[in-house]
Amino acid sequence: MKKVRVGLVGILRNARGHGVQCQLNKKVQIAAGCDVSAAGREQGLKWYGVPMYASQAEMIKNEKLDAVIISTPNWTHRQLSVEALKAGLKVLCEKPMSNTLADSKAMAASVKKYKGFLQIAFELKTCPIMLEIKKIVDSGAVGEIKHIHFLQTPGQKENDWKVSQKLSGGLFIEKLCHQIDTFRYFLGDMKSVEVYHGPNTARHYEVMDNCYATFAFKSGAVAHISFITGLAAANEGLKESDYPKYGHSLRYDFIGSKGSLSYSYWDRSLMVCKLVKHKDGSWKSELVSKKVFKEYSAAGLYESFVYQDSDFIERVWKGKKELFTAQDSYKTMQAAFACEESAKRNKKILL
């Protein structure tokens, strides 16, 4: 069987998740890797036993590749993606597209220019729980989705580039772009965003650490994000079962015209309710089912490298198109940057 020859761009931190999935996939051959740091290259050699380079350009020049997986900081995504597309490689690039809207637009334009394949790592489109929710929604069981709410109460991050406003692009660029993309996946095109936030409690953060965001859609539906840093303890080494005990919440609620869906990541439970008309004329929500996804870890459902990377490799191996286009991801980034603008200007932004 001919394998997909993959070059890993970035070795440490989140990049390791992609590397592990490539090692486990029988259709993949990790052909080479690159990292700007000597420590990354040294570790990559130990993990993968393949040539390691100081730059992607050098790797592309010296190795025969089919695809690259880019797991580097946000501000490097444009240069690396365009370089790989120009070389005729299929590209999976970590989210967000970039830390600027101009770079994000340029990445989408490069796909058209080079007739390339660029998929951004919005992995929730491939995770089992979202596929299950999409199946239920598409069946019409809960009617037309009118409202989606996302709640997260994370602990504070360490002091690195991800909490730098300039380097990361901001909270909605670095982190909450996943939720914006999910909203768009279910509800279609947005018409406006409006974000309110209070003073930060995480003193080393430059990005917002708490906010409430409202998204209005052309269909008439609305979606909300409630994001609160500081409520949860950021203890090291917690087991999955410990997170709720320390104040961590992570859940989606979908409200439809005939019922509702609610998914809590930490207990991996999906609850489905339906609206039932009673004899007195009132409508009440009644539980239809509650399923716990015991076969999956919570982290595996939320940061689903395995499903996303498997889908990417399968598409490259079979010569298929991307699961979703770079232009679609650019629309998500437009909304994410509009959120940052709304928070800064304290006003609704039309899309």
Q: What CATH number corresponds to the domain at position 339?
A: 3.30.360.10
Sheet hosting strand 283-292, strand order edge to edge: 283-292, 269-277, 259-264, 250-256, 145-152, 222-228, 210-217, 190-196, 349-350
Same domain, 146 and 118: no
Judgement on whether residues 161 and 269 belong to the same structural domain of the protein: yes
Do 140 and 256 lie in one domain? The reply is yes
How far is Cα 304 from Cα 177, in angstroms, rounded to an integer? 16
Going from the C-alpha of 227 to that of each of 91, 197, 249, 252, 270, the distances in angstroms are 31, 9, 10, 12, 21
- Cα-only R_g, the chain: 21
Nearest CA to 81 out of 61, 105, 50, 64 is that of: 105
Same domain, 72 and 207: no
On whether the pTM is more than 0.75, the answer is yes
Contacts of 208 (CB under 8 A, 6+ apart): 170, 171, 197, 200, 227, 343
User: What pLDDT was estimated at residue 159?
Assistant: 87
CB distance 72 to 55 below 8 Å:
no
Instruction: Give the H/E segment covering residue 214.
Output: strand 210-217
**Do the beta carbons of residue 110 and residue 82 sit within 8 Å?**
yes
Tell me: do 9 and 101 sit in the same domain.
Answer: yes
Q: Which range marks the domain in which residue 115 is found?
A: 4-123+305-323
pLDDT tens, N- to C-terminus, the chain (351 residues): 799 999 999 999 889 999 999 999 999 999 999 999 999 999 999 999 999 999 999 999 999 999 999 999 999 999 999 999 999 999 999 999 999 999 999 999 999 999 999 999 999 999 889 999 999 999 999 999 999 999 999 989 888 999 999 999 999 999 999 999 999 999 999 999 999 999 999 999 999 999 999 999 999 999 999 999 988 998 878 888 888 899 999 999 999 999 999 999 988 999 999 999 999 999 999 999 999 988 888 877 776 788 999 999 999 999 999 999 999 999 999 999 999 999 999 999 999
Q: What is the pLDDT of residue 326?
A: 97
Residues 165, 80 share a domain = no
* Claim to verify: residue 113 and residue 179 sit in the same structural domain: no
Domain-embedded: residue 328:
no
Query: What was the pLDDT predicted at 306?
Result: 86
| Nearest Cα residue to 151 out of 236, 218, 244, 71 | 244
How many other CB atoms are found less than 10 A from the CB of residue 282?
8
Q: How far apart are CA 246 and CA 315, in angstroms?
A: 40
State the burial class of residue 15 (Cβ atoms within 10 Å of its Cβ: 0-12, 13-18, 19+). Answer: buried
Domain identity same for 118 and 131 = no
Cα(328)–Cα(78) distance, integer angstroms: 16
* pLDDT score, position 309: 95
For the chain, the domain total comes to 2
